[in-house]
Amino acid sequence: MPKLTIDGKEIEAPAGTNLIEAARRLGIEIPHYCYHPGLSIAGQCRLCMVEIGNNPRPQIACNIQVAEGMVVRTETAKVLATRQSIMEFHLINHPLDCPVCDQAGECWLQIYYMKHGLYEPRMMDEKVHKPKAVPLGPHVILDAERCILCSRCVRFCDEITGTGELGIFQRGDHSEIGLFPGRELSNPYSANVIDICPVGALTDRDFRFAVRVWYLETAKSICPGCSRGCNIEVHYNLRRPHHNQGRRVARLKPRYNREVNRWWICDAGRYGYKFVDDPSRLLLPARRADTQADEVVWEEIIPLVAARLSAYRPEEIGVLASPQMANEDLFLLRRLVDHLGIPNVDFRVPSRASGDEDRILIKADKNPNTRGAELIGLGPRPGGLDARGVLRAARERRIKCLWVLHHDLLLSAWPEEETREALRALDCLIFQGSNANGVSPSAHYVLPSATWVEREGTFANFEGRVQRFWKAVEPVGAALPDWEIIGRIGEALGMGPLPATAEAIFKALAAEVIAFRGLSYRELRDAGKPVASS
């Protein structure tokens, strides 16, 4: 590994590392706009100039790789003067409309201007005018005047999605980002260009004017949209509850994980959180007799549900767990099922729409934790029925009590009428989930769950990487994490006390399920860890 000196500090970095990355390892930030570690080197913004050895001309750090004995200086008078000039050039034609710009507060023009600006405007002539508020596709809107022509968005569409919708048209200071004729920015990853746009040129049509970014707080999380398990940040707003029509979750943003999603997420995942603050949320536990539904408190419904589960013979009960649930939920559920000796357990309910998949991130399995459900063992017990078999047996009244967790069975690949018949024939239908769906209206007992942003836990992605997600906001109404609902029912069934935390459950899980052996909740840290390979 070449050894070099940056600002007097020695560092070794693997051959091929560029100077921006090498400096970053030392905690030295070299300002830049066009460089992005996930894209090719463009060298266009000219901001990342540093001095190297005795070369009198500053060089761009993005395009220079580390070399043995190299001496790099990032804060010389010449470098600072160059940065100041480049910042001035970036701003002479910029509209300076921060007060009405969504990017304000997370804009790299603002950030670098504060640090490196000239602070003396010299440009007195008319600025170049370009199109504003141009929708490029379903998610992205362009303000060409704010664009600093770093070409990140163009490179993203050329290099990552390979869809090539965007180009830079015209020349000189009339250069302008735009769509090729007849194209629309509608690839399944289009909104990533908003994240990588360093300024307010590309903004999110969904988030636009919803909340000022300085009111947002952040929680680390995992996208529940498919089995890739992309790492994300949940940005939520509690400080200005009257903004954004009272919706707490304002947006999801990708979080870098080298092993999973690198810098990106898909659009389906990014905008797939709307159910969290949706009017369809189930707020209170409820029991239904005939057509009358009564909202009740947990203390009332838990013993009732426990009593029903003990009232039937185990073979008369079906449990449909969900791969939307976290490992902690699934583990307690498996314990409960084993405690009662219920053989008819499954988690696989094929959905009617076949899932799209590609070679980038998107997986056909739209569940975040299928692998976890498999490893923890929520399939049918020996002699037990699978999900389809359970519904068939329900129609034939051999299954009398069914506990459905999250699934909307009416959207399954199975004939809707048969499913309705099965649900009607049940003696007892328990539905546990976060939002009303096709099943919940016919349930005798409704158990409202917290969504994934309202609690913590772990998912195992399709490769068996166990990843943590953190709590962002409180559950709505009386909703509880699935593990807590299951644990309370278990407690009522005499299975021992409710575990205190998700972490405590994970500990028990790691002790009991071979694949999880050796994993510690804390040690999963931000990036997660793979399960033991079988």
The residues of the shown chain that bind ligand SF4, judged by CB under 6 A, are 147-153, 177, 196-199, 201-202
- Which one among 167, 377, 438, 477 touches other proteins, defined by CB under 8 A? 167
Contact (Cβ atoms closer than 8 angstroms) between residue 328 and residue 505 = yes
Q: Kindly state the tokens that stand for 245.
A: 């029509």
> Which is it for strands 249-254 and 202-204: parallel, antiparallel or unpaired?
unpaired
Residue with the two structure tokens 């906001």: 473
Q: From the CB of 202, what's the least distance to ligand SF4, in Å?
A: 5
Q: From the CB of 479, what's the least distance to other proteins, in Å?
A: 51
Q: Which stretch binds other proteins (CB under 8 A): 95-103, 143-151, 220-228, 247-255?
A: 143-151
Alpha-carbon 408 to chain mean position:
22
| b/e per residue 67-89 (b: at least 16 CB within 10 A) | eeebebbbeeeebeebbbebbbe
Closer to other proteins by CB, 170 or 218: give it: 170
**Residue 122 binding: pick among other proteins, ligand SF4, none (C-beta 5-8 Å cut-off by kind):** other proteins
User: What string marks each residue from 232 to 271 as x (binds other proteins by CB under 8 A) or -?
Assistant: ----------------------------------------
Q: Which stretch binds other proteins (CB under 8 A): 78-86, 135-143, 315-323, 516-524?
A: 78-86
- Which one among 93, 187, 434, 451 touches other proteins, defined by CB under 8 A? 93
Residue type, 185: L
Please report, for residues 25, 442, 455, 458, the alpha-carbon distance to residue 449 in angstroms, rounded to integers and kept in the order given: 43, 17, 10, 16
Strand partners, 530: 465
Query: Residue 90, interface with other proteins (CB under 8 A)?
Result: yes
Closer to ligand SF4 by CB, 94 or 400: give it: 94
Q: From the CB of 89, what's the least distance to other proteins, in Å?
A: 4
Q: State the alpha helices, DSSP H only, in 167-273.
A: 192-196, 267-270
Q: From the CB of 30, what's the least distance to ligand SF4, in Å?
A: 18
Would you give the end-to-end CA distance of the chain in angstroms? 35
**Residue 440 φ/ψ region, left for φ over 0, alpha for ψ in the -120 to 50 degree band, beta for the rest:** alpha
Contact (Cβ atoms closer than 8 angstroms) between residue 179 and residue 187 = no
Q: From the CB of 151, what's the least distance to ligand SF4, in Å?
A: 5
Q: From the CB of 46, what's the least distance to other proteins, in Å?
A: 5
**Residue 173 binding: pick among ligand SF4, other proteins, none (C-beta 5-8 Å cut-off by kind):** other proteins
Round to whole Å and give the CA distance between 41 and 159.
11
Closer to ligand SF4 by CB, 198 or 269: give it: 198
Residue 168, SS3 per DSSP = strand
Q: Kindly state the tokens that stand for 31.
A: 């300002």
φ and ψ of 31, to 5 deg? -60, 145
Round to whole Å and give the CA distance between 351 and 435.
17
**Residue 197 binding: pick among other proteins, ligand SF4, none (C-beta 5-8 Å cut-off by kind):** ligand SF4
Q: From the CB of 28, what's the least distance to other proteins, in Å?
A: 21
Residue 404, SS3 per DSSP = strand
User: What string marks each residue from 24 to 53 as x (binds other proteins by CB under 8 A) or -?
Assistant: -----------------xxxxxxx-x----
Strand partners, 191: none
Strand partners, 401: 317, 428
**Residue 201 binding: pick among ligand SF4, other proteins, none (C-beta 5-8 Å cut-off by kind):** ligand SF4
Residues 105-124 touching other proteins, rule: CB under 8 A, are: 122-124
**Residue 77 binding: pick among other proteins, ligand SF4, none (C-beta 5-8 Å cut-off by kind):** none
Closer to other proteins by CB, 76 or 351: give it: 76
Residue with the two structure tokens 């990140």: 152
Residues making contact with other proteins (CB under 8 A): 41-47, 49, 57-58, 63, 81-82, 85-86, 89-90, 92-93, 122-126, 128, 148-149, 151, 167-168, 170-175
